[in-house]
Structure 1
Amino acid sequence: MDYVTQIIDPPPSRTRLLLDGVRALRKPKLDGVPVLPKERLVRSAVELSATGIAGYGRACGFRHEQGVPLSYPHVLAFPLHLMLLTRPSFPYPAGGMVHLANRIRQHQRLHPGQALRIEVYAERWVAHPKGQALSIATRAYSADALVWESDSLYLRRDVKNPLGEPWGEALELSKEGLLRTQRWVLPADLGRRFAKVSGDFNPIHASMIGAKIFGFRRAIAHGMWTLGRALAAQQPPGGLDQAEAHCDFKLPIYLPGQVALWSHPVTGPRRAFEVRNAAGDKPHMRGLFIWKALDE
């Protein structure tokens, strides 16, 4: 597919992004098949700010000695995701798009102060059993080398005859040997606190009223906070060279609430895990974390 590259420097303010999000809550009924957006949105030099990393680390539980969190570049790219989903060229209303899954790969060590070129574009339609899904690609480059990438799957429910190849990438992990390793007590304002460091001010995370508009009984935690918190509990000290994190988001986590991390005992740099409800019988997220530490 031929993309039209658009340089987004400087990025829009949070107020502008919120206003665009409100305007994109309603769109004309789609007539015909959806067309994949053709824009490739680019920020040419985004700094891995030590201050930003520290704020994100506090929100998710990362420690300074763990280096740059594997999931941190996603928050730098998120404004571009939001711009793509709220543009007139995107065929569906942004409100109600559900984040289903994320796949992250880091190819080289990241360090504070490093400048990244971040590119975001709609990669492909995916036919999902619950509707039309869309894979959004994020690519981060340093000195023209691909150093970090992710693919985020978003879903528009109840779309008949969805386009694309059928979704067949769900994580299938053995639950044998999973043990509860941590319990997390989540405050009511977690969504608002994470929004300040991630830029994701979706109303389903910010307030009970906003959540009820979209069918939730209370505010729910960000899926990317859940992933970040799970990685913070497992990422080794000393930083990462190469790493992967795959996750599927399952049931929403209502705020306030309690959840627990279940994972396999440490047997090497590969960890299957789940974030489950307090009773331990329902998954909120299923994941796989594979890493190569810097000192290995």
Structure 2
Amino acid sequence: MHDMTQIIDPLPSRTQLLLDSVRALRKPKLDGAPELPKARLVRSAVALSAADIATYGRACGFRREQGVPLSYPHVLAFPLHLMLLTRPSFPYPASGMVHLANRIRQQQRLHEGQALRLEVFCERWVAHPKGQALSIATRAYSAGALVWESDSLYLRREIKNPLGEPWNDGLPLQQEGLLRTQRWVLPADLGRRFAAVSGDFNPIHTSLIGAKLFGFRRAIAHGMWTLGRALAAQQPPGGLDQAEAHCDFKLPIFLPGQVALWNRPVTGPRREFEVRNVAGDRPHMRGLFIWNESLK
């Protein structure tokens, strides 16, 4: 066991998590370099609830015949992310942290009713041109085996002399040959609706006033909703055994709004894709989705 492992059972209520986020809006000025929090937060048995998966699926466009969505375990782990970011030992306020990228890898098929052991910890600092970035790792185990994992990169803007390895400028993809395959109309309340599913009530997603406080002219869509919607449009029926999804979040999606999914017209278990503005000349997200036989 990690020397700073903490079992979180039961999970704090959403009200408590929101209160902790408000208390963490102000942090004392750092004296020297920030320290990477050492805690590893653990939920020992989290059920893959069929009802909760269905609710998430409706929010993102997944169908039941697609099995457990590849992006769904992030929703289960997000409260632990928030607990790490709102701890007194974390050097920056949680609100205003920008989700830059996500890397997901599934090792085995997930099933409704299955129980997962979730472990979440701050993995490393990353030096980004716009400030200090942080990688938060999530690991999910079943019967002692690693079955799903992700690394989420968050950014605190305007931090001088950031620590860590330099940001490598994201996912390299050939954008030529991508074609528009879907167009999505996003309602003004999408952020509030997805917050109710995901537990991510960051005010940049749920409130016009909150968004303006952090420099956005309107509320913006959750990055993980955008990823989920893109995977739902491409995930095959029958469920996934091994799979990977890599995505970089680019320009914010303002709500209400319209965006389009662009991907390469290929057959087989590999998709390169972007979510762009309606005109098709500005990317909101860039991604790569690979599944099953391509990973064997």
- Shared fold, TM over 0.5: yes
Q: Give the CA deviation at 1:172.
A: 1.1
Partners of 1:37 and 1:193 lie apart in 2 by 31
User: Equivalent residues in 2 for 1:243-282 (5 A)?
Assistant: 243-282=243-282
Partners of 2:142 and 2:169 lie apart in 1 by 29
Name the counterpart of 1:131.
131
Q: Give the CA deviation at 1:158.
A: 1.1
Partners of 1:73 and 1:102 lie apart in 2 by 13
Partners of 1:92 and 1:237 lie apart in 2 by 42
Partners of 1:115 and 1:208 lie apart in 2 by 38
Q: Give the CA deviation at 1:210.
A: 1.3
Q: Would you say how many aligned residue pairs link Structure 1 and Structure 2?
A: 293
- Where in structure 2 are there 5+ consecutive unaligned residues? none
Equivalent residue letter for 1:161: N
SS at 2:241's partner residue?
Answer: strand
TM-score (norm. length: structure 1): 0.97
Partners of 1:176 and 1:278 lie apart in 2 by 17
SS at 2:242's partner residue?
Answer: strand
Name the counterpart of 2:8.
8
Q: Give the CA deviation at 1:266.
A: 2.7
Residues 132-165 of structure 1 show CA distances to partners (whole Å, capped at 9, x for unaligned) of 1100000000001000000000011111111111
- Where in structure 1 are there 5+ consecutive unaligned residues? none
Q: Give the CA deviation at 1:3.
A: 4.5
Q: Give the CA deviation at 1:267.
A: 2.2
Equivalent residue letter for 2:201: F
Name the counterpart of 1:28.
28
Partners of 2:8 and 2:217 lie apart in 1 by 36
Name the counterpart of 1:175.
175
Partners of 1:74 and 1:185 lie apart in 2 by 24
Partners of 1:146 and 1:208 lie apart in 2 by 40
Which portions of structure 1, spanning 4 or more consecutive aligned residues, are displaced by more than 6 angstroms?
none
Partners of 1:162 and 1:235 lie apart in 2 by 37
Partners of 1:207 and 1:133 lie apart in 2 by 25
SS at 1:252's partner residue?
Answer: coil
Equivalent residue letter for 1:201: F
Name the counterpart of 1:226.
226
Does residue 87 of structure 2 align to residue 87 of structure 1? yes
Q: Give the CA deviation at 1:92.
A: 0.8
Work out the percentage of aligned pairs sharing the same amino acid: 86
Name the counterpart of 1:116.
116
Partners of 1:194 and 1:163 lie apart in 2 by 33
Partners of 2:194 and 2:70 lie apart in 1 by 16
